[in-house]
Amino acid sequence: MEPLTTAQKELYDWLVDYIHTNQHSPSIRQMMRAMNLKSPAPVQSRLDHLRKKSYIAWEEGQARTIRLLHNQPQGLPIIGAIAATSLVETYDDTEVEILDLNGMLMKPDYYALNVRGHSMIEAMIDDGDTVVMERPHDIRSIKNGTIVAARVEGKTTLKYYQKKGSKITLMPGNPDRELYPVTEVKASDVDVQGILKAVWRSVR
């Protein structure tokens, strides 16, 4: 790799720190402020040089798509565990982990949860899997049958979402209703915290 000038290295080091911390790329204005510049032109010039020297890349015509090409831990923060049994107390995992996705699904509203329990086996989600979730932007747009991470009375679970009138039913994907009962509550008592986007399963 070609060496960087002092100005280019200053911007690159700042980009590495920002992207590692926030899991998405900054805006031009943020870079201007960080570099104490009053015009976007020198920022764009430094970015162009960083790309030519193969330190970064981005999608043409799309804002905030800068990605690091070297020494970038591509992954999602695993922020805790989600019960796939009945409603249980929220798990509090203190050890910080990163789910390596090799640059896939790197969106600011995405996060990951470790699954505990067998209530979603019919959805091919089992104990020990990791689910990638997206924070919902509009609860009203969630379709019936969507798998969601839901919080009810301070407890969380991974279930199928069904809404009818003012009621929400959280359906397990397991036929054993004795072990995995259906939860039906008022819509106002449910906090949908995530929508399933992907399932990650390691070879055991």
The partner residues of 199 in beta bridges, in order of sequence, read 131
Query: Is 119 part of the annotated catalytic residue set?
Result: yes
- Token pair of 52 as six digits: 């030519």
Q: Distances from the Cα of 102 to the Cαs of 51, 90, 125, 197, in angstroms? A: 20, 29, 22, 16
Query: Is 159 part of the annotated catalytic residue set?
Result: yes
Question: CB of 1 within 8 A of CB of 53?
Answer: yes
SS3 144: coil
Closest Cα partner for 181 from 114, 83, 98, 109?
Answer: 83
Catalytic residue among 9, 54, 86, 119: 119
Tell me phi and psi for residue 110, to 5 degrees.
-95, 145
Catalytic residue among 52, 53, 141, 159: 159
Please report which helix (H) or strand (E) contains residue 68, including its range.
strand 67-68
Question: Catalytic residue numbers?
Answer: 119, 159
